[in-house]
């Protein structure tokens, strides 16, 4: 298979799936989360707060480490699984495109959809909080840092949950447990156990960039380069693992 | 696709092919050899037709045995899909997309793009008479339109073989006639080899005389449909006759050499006749009616359904 054939196929799947994700009923979830985050952060911002550290903590807790994995799970775990279940995967499975390339097309669309959704949520939350307090250059710096963290996290969590969707027939149950229990609970425990969560490495990267709030004082952080490499390694591993599973799966 | 077909080569070949889904048998020690042209795969629901197609498309892998399409093994061989167009029997179209968007996706998956893709979409949509509905959402299409759009998707990359899984299922008679005409045209004018499945024998008869009969995961008969009919005719047929003076007619029928048994139905308004040679029975019946003075108001075969025919063929 030549490169042009592979690229054309990847782009076709990515474009179709992205449109499906962004304009599907799941988009309502993005809207609801955006409204919820804006309401919560707007209310918090209206109270007596120390804007930079408190605002940073809100972005950290509410967006980066709660809604981001949840959003990736909602979009990712069902993307390929739904198409396998309702058999609309047929046109992809009967195309002269190696399934690992098809999988890459799905992954790109998912990661982009999660990035777009989370940037919307992050932006809404940020402005709802900081517009009432301080929109200076330091606040904007925090906004940019969290935008980058959310983007990095979206790529890693998307890779994880897409693979889970191919591996399991009921991926949402596993996804919920993983997002809430594993990332939410294990990732917050002190000591070495937290290193088996994606959250730990995102926090480690963030602790090097962000100058305010709890994240800046994360004293168990791995160095930013090592953390970045682990995140890239996880991303590559999950994508390759998912592609392998997709290639081996019988689409009965 | 106007490549001259070499009738000696196989389009699809299976040898001792079996597929199990856990304890459920999809295909069992199945062998066939499909040549160029239109071939009908006929069998009742659950016989294994869709399993055969999934194996031919490499969507599932054989448990044992081999299958090849155009001389290539399909499992983990995506390149083979350049030569195959598949129209599934289930809803596979994205309902939120327009017909054009769907065909653009399929084209992209087959490395088609730009003006060549747009041109081909226009050409194929005209061929299946869907050019006016291209920019409508698929969710609003009728069953017949969806079938045509699926066929358009299968045709878009100009494959050598078209695999059509129950393309007539659930369609009204007019749509059915149109699809039958389309399939014949695709073979005759465009040179596509077609493998088409159905659970209705007479539908396939309107398309082709080359058939493979599948029952419970096995190929029970292969060849010209008239030979298969002869084979079926060797088995006793059950025919129900209703009308006036049916007692005399029953006696006349019972005296004939082809009659196996005659029994009166409830209310004695009709009889069920079991005959060994149905052709002889039907040719002799007018004379028997005249001789006995009976008249027939209704007559039908209990063996018209495919299940009964297959039971005969496998000796049950």
Q: What gap in Å lies between CA B103 and CA B90, rounded to an integer?
A: 17
Q: What gap in Å lies between CA A176 and CA A179, rounded to an integer?
A: 5
Contacts of B90 in chain A (CB under 8 A): 87
Residue A78 CB coordination number (10 Å): 20
Pairing of strands B237-244, B295-301: antiparallel
Token pair 């039971």: residue: B311
Q: Which residue of B has its CA nearest to A105?
A: B109
Q: Which residue of A has its CA nearest to B163?
A: A94
From A4, A87, A95, residue closest to B109, measured CB to CB = A95
Structure tokens given for A204: 């480690």
- The DSSP code sequence of B34-53 is EESSEEEEE--TTSSHHHHH
State yes or no: ipTM above 0.90. Answer: no
Q: What gap in Å lies between CA A104 and CA A86, rounded to an integer?
A: 21
Closest-CA distance, A109 to chain B, in angstroms, reads 14
From B76, B92, B106, residue closest to A87, measured CB to CB = B92
| A250–B61 CB contact, under 8 Å | yes
Q: B234-313 sits in which CATH class?
A: alpha beta
Q: Which residue of A has its CA nearest to B78?
A: A96
| A90–B92 CB contact, under 8 Å | yes
Closest-CA distance, B248 to chain A, in angstroms, reads 57
Task: Judge contact between B200 and B211, C-beta under 8 A.
Answer: no
Contacts of B60 in chain A (CB under 8 A): 250-252
- Full-model pTM: 0.84
Domain locations along chain B: 10-231, 234-313
pLDDT at B138: 94
From A4, A23, A92, residue closest to B111, measured CB to CB = A4
From A13, A20, A90, residue closest to B88, measured CB to CB = A90
Contacts of B108 in chain A (CB under 8 A): 8-9, 11-13, 15
Q: B10-231 sits in which CATH class?
A: alpha beta
pLDDT tens, N- to C-terminus, chain B (316 residues)? 544 445 557 899 999 999 998 888 899 999 999 999 999 998 888 889 999 999 999 999 999 999 999 999 999 999 999 999 999 998 889 888 999 999 999 999 999 999 999 999 999 999 888 999 999 999 999 988 999 999 999 999 999 999 999 988 877 777 888 889 989 998 998 889 999 998 877 778 888 889 898 888 888 888 887 777 676 666 677 888 888 888 888 888 988 888 888 998 877 778 999 888 777 888 888 888 888 888 888 887 776 555 666 666 655 4
Q: What gap in Å lies between CA A98 and CA B230, rounded to an integer?
A: 46
């Amino acid at each position: 298979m030549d490169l042009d054939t592979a690229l054309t196929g990847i782009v076709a799947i990515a474009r179709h799936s992205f449109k499906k994700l962004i304009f599907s009923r799941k988009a309502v979830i993005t809207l609801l989360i955006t409204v919820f985050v804006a309401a919560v952060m707007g209310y918090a911002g209206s109270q007596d707060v120390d804007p930079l550290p408190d605002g940073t903590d809100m972005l950290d807790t509410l967006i980066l480490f709660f809604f981001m994995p949840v959003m990736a799970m909602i979009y990712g775990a069902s993307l390929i699984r739904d198409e396998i279940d309702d058999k609309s995967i047929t046109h992809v499975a009967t195309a002269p495109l190696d399934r690992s390339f098809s999988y890459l097309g799905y992954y790109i669309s998912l990661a982009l959809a999660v990035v777009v959704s989370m940037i919307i949520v992050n932006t809404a939350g940020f402005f709802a909080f900081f517009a009432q307090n301080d929109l200076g250059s330091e606040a904007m710096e925090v906004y940019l840092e969290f935008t980058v963290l959310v983007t990095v996290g979206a790529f890693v969590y998307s890779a994880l949950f897409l693979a889970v969707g191919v591996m399991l027939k009921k991926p949402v149950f596993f996804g919920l447990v993983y997002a809430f229990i594993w990332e939410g609970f294990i990732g917050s425990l002190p000591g070495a156990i937290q290193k088996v969560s994606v959250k730990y490495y995102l926090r480690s990267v963030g602790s090097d960039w962000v100058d305010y709030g709890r994240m800046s004082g994360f004293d168990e952080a791995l160095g930013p380069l090592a953390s970045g490499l682990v995140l890239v390694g996880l991303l590559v591993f999950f994508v390759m693992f998912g592609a392998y599973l997709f290639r081996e799966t019988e689409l009965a | 696709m106007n490549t001259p077909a070499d009738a000696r080569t196989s389009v699809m070949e299976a040898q001792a092919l079996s597929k199990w889904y856990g304890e459920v048998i999809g295909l069992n020690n199945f062998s066939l050899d499909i040549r160029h042209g239109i071939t009908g795969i006929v069998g009742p629901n659950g016989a294994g037709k869709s399993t055969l197609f999934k194996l031919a498309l490499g969507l599932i892998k054989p448990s044992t045995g081999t299958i090849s399409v155009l001389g290539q093994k399909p499992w983990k061989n995506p390149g083979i899909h350049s030569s195959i167009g598949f129209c599934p029997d289930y809803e596979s179209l994205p309902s939120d997309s327009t017909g054009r968007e769907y065909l653009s996706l399929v084209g992209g998956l087959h490395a088609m793009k730009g003006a060549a893709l747009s041109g081909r979409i226009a050409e194929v949509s005209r061929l299946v008479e869907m050019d006016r509905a291209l920019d409508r959402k698929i969710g609003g299409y009728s069953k017949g339109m969806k079938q045509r759009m699926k066929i358009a998707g299968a045709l878009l990359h100009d494959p050598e073989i078209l695999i059509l899984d129950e393309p007539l299922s659930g369609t009204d008679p007019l749509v059915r006639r149109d699809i039958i005409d389309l399939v014949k045209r695709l073979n005759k004018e465009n040179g596509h080899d077609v493998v088409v499945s159905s659970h209705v024998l007479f539908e396939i008869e309107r398309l082709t005389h080359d058939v493979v009969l599948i029952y419970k995961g096995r190929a029970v008969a292969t060849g010209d449909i008239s030979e298969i009919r002869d084979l079926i005719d060797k088995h006793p047929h059950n025919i129900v006759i209703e009308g006036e003076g049916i007692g005399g007619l029953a006696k006349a029928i019972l005296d004939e050499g082809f009659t196996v048994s005659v029994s009166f139905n409830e209310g004695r308004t009709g009889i069920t006749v079991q005959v060994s040679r149905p052709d002889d029975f039907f040719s002799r019946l007018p004379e028997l009616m005249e001789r006995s003075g009976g008249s027939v108001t209704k007559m039908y075969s209990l063996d018209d359904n495919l299940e009964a025919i297959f039971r005969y063929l496998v000796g049950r």
